[in-house]
Chain A
């Protein structure tokens, strides 16, 4: 048996960072898991929340559900999430877009110091997979690039800097989903599991995505993130205030992405990354409102669009001042 395990080294579930104190026990448990998986067939799924679920299997595309079906589905999901994360306060909403609103984001590159606070606030708000230390596979929607002063070439950027910031001769460029108006990811998806909402937010139906990852190949901003394993969120860290098209917990094998914090912005709040930013580099608002802060920036500052030549017409702008 141990020989077999060596041959297939990555089959064993990677121990979560906290559980790693008891190495031996984890090893034994995964050994039993592996055995039962081998013998008992499909019933022995590693995680009971992942077991086959007929309602989920037959669940329709978000656009094909009637309002009544949506309510039923969301109630079912709330029950499932409550059980999975041992709580009783889960809420899955489906608040729609507001009329006359189109969200836009502007980021001040002169101010950003590359502290990655936005990245982490985003993970907390949006219930991303926390990953495990040795795999380093926490899902993050925001990637902060350390750029050479005087260059806009992302290929010269450093992603995994650990030194103190801001460093001499560098500037910092956070990149997240640009909510493109001509979105390559939307065009690519073979099953319409991803689309742009009227307020500009590009969303994914996690119950419709088949996990082909064509959208990930299509996105020019590397903004689509895939659940390579069953996502893990510690019970006490989960955010129970969720949206069907946004931060509700996801499944193994589906795609996810930044939604400008759809749960928050559709309630009139700002995205979590905006509120956490200690330097005020992030400006968010309604592009259709001439008085909004983003609109004023676009109208008055020197803005630029990353990878403009790809022609995706994003709702995300960078500026210097």
Chain B
């Protein structure tokens, strides 16, 4: 017990010591949090009316970010599979890091859901046995459950492994391997359930399509590993963490394949929507071409598609792989932005436009909404940063028993 407490104490101390660059980064993130905190305070005082949402478009930037981040969180699994199942040693080293990213991403998911609530003070209504949890009927209840479960799994596995590493002991397999297998299935499930959140709504034809769930997974396994590669590049460049090129190469492969599948599914979707020219086409037409002079989302979606295609071409040509750290990662950054746009502007918003009664009201997030979102990103990146720092500290032996 004493051992464990010293471990925790030393870890926390380690998380907040570092060079100037590290500390300014943390300070910057805290600045974001302060901005977000201020904006969220405004929102609790004045109500969700300070956002750009309304009865016509009743979910916006928060739920869009949530949807995107579920994908990033689920993507940690991409490294878990080869790492633990095939004992690929090099990938295994990176798995820990991937799981740290996942923790930060899930915390952001949960915060975005909370930020979207009209009555955050009543959150306890969701917690059995005090509340009344509409399980298993409500997809949102499912989602809350699987997200929290995923968070616990991801806290347990790396936490245990790092503690053992710190003590210099071999981890006991039965204490983490079953959880690793479980988290693989779980990662797919958080994403699938989030997709069901949308596809289950028969009254919203744009979402009520079977292709949505597979597209969710494909785009998640494209943006998520891309995000993790960026993190790995930073760690590789700035720390003594032992990391070869194979893991990044492996992840680039995953990004490419998932990205191609995603584009293929997108083309099938567009084809089905427009070729038959059914009544269901209104939302899609609004998104891609604009409807009755309303076209706020058109530039966004085409930017996204263009970036998606260019980035994938760059990855296929493999020309950039050997270039400098900035150049070789630009396509990945483009993919992340492209998929972020696709989730928000491309998936969440047009589902509400036009409304079920045919009214077209456009949505753009308000300044306050952007500030809250930035704040939540600040929290998530902060958590990721200190956790990753911690993992690196232990891995290179900066934090060890005295």
Which residues from chain A sit less than 8 Å from chain B, CB to CB? Answer: 7-11, 13, 37-38, 45-46, 57, 61, 63-64, 135, 137, 139, 143, 145, 153-157, 159, 175, 184, 187-193, 208-214, 216-222, 224-230, 251-255, 307, 310-312
Contact = CB atoms under 8 A, between A and B. Distances in A.
B54 A228 contact: yes
B42 interface: yes
Contacts of A11: 42, 46, 50, 368
Interface in B140-173: 140-141, 144
Contacts of B49: 10, 135, 137, 228-229
B119 A228 contact: no
Nearest to B354: A155
Given A210-B119, A210-B120, A225-B55, 16 more contacts: A10-B50, A46-B46, A57-B121, A64-B132, A159-B358, A190-B134, A190-B144, A191-B132, A210-B118, A216-B58, A220-B204, A226-B58, A226-B118, A228-B54, A228-B55, A229-B46
Contact of A230 (B47, B133, B139): B47
B202 A213 contact: no
B355 interface: yes
A11 B42 CA distance: 7
B42 A208 contact: no
Interface stretch (B26-34, B82-90, B123-131, B214-222): B123-131
B134 A189 contact: yes
A253 B356 contact: no
Given A143-B357, A159-B357, A45 B45 contact: yes
> Shortest 3 CB-CB distances between A and B: which pairs?
A211-B118, A220-B203, A253-B118
Given A7-B367, A145-B358, A212-B140, A190 B126 contact: yes
Contacts of A254: 118-119
B138 interface: yes
A210 B58 contact: no
B141 A190 contact: yes
Contact of B356 (A13, A221, A311): A221
Contact of A218 (B54, B144, B201, B367): B201
B281 to A, nearest CB: 10
Contacts of A184: 201-203
Interface residues of B, number: 55
If over half of A's interface residues share one DSSP class (helix, strand or loop), that class is named, otherwise mixed; here it is: loop
A228 B53 contact: yes
Contact of B132 (A61, A137, A227): A61
B125 A193 contact: yes
A191 B357 contact: no
With most chain A CB atoms within 10 A of its CB, the pick from B123, B354, B359 is: B359
Contacts of B357: 143, 145, 154, 157, 159, 175, 221-222
Contacts of B122: 208-211
Interface string B47-90: 11110011100110000000000000000000000000000000
A139 B55 CA distance: 9
Nearest to B366: A10
A210 B279 contact: no
15 contacts: A10-B366, A10-B367, A37-B42, A137-B49, A154-B356, A184-B201, A184-B202, A188-B201, A190-B126, A192-B132, A208-B125, A209-B118, A218-B204, A219-B356, A228-B53
B117 interface: yes
A45 B46 CA distance: 9
A159 B58 CA distance: 18
Contact of B42 (A8, A135, A212, A216): A8
A155 B282 contact: yes
B137 interface: yes
Contacts of B393: none
Nearest to A194: B134
B140 A188 contact: yes
A86 to B, nearest CB: 23
A225 B387 CA distance: 42
B47 A227 contact: yes
A228 B47 contact: yes
Interface in B317-354: 351-352, 354
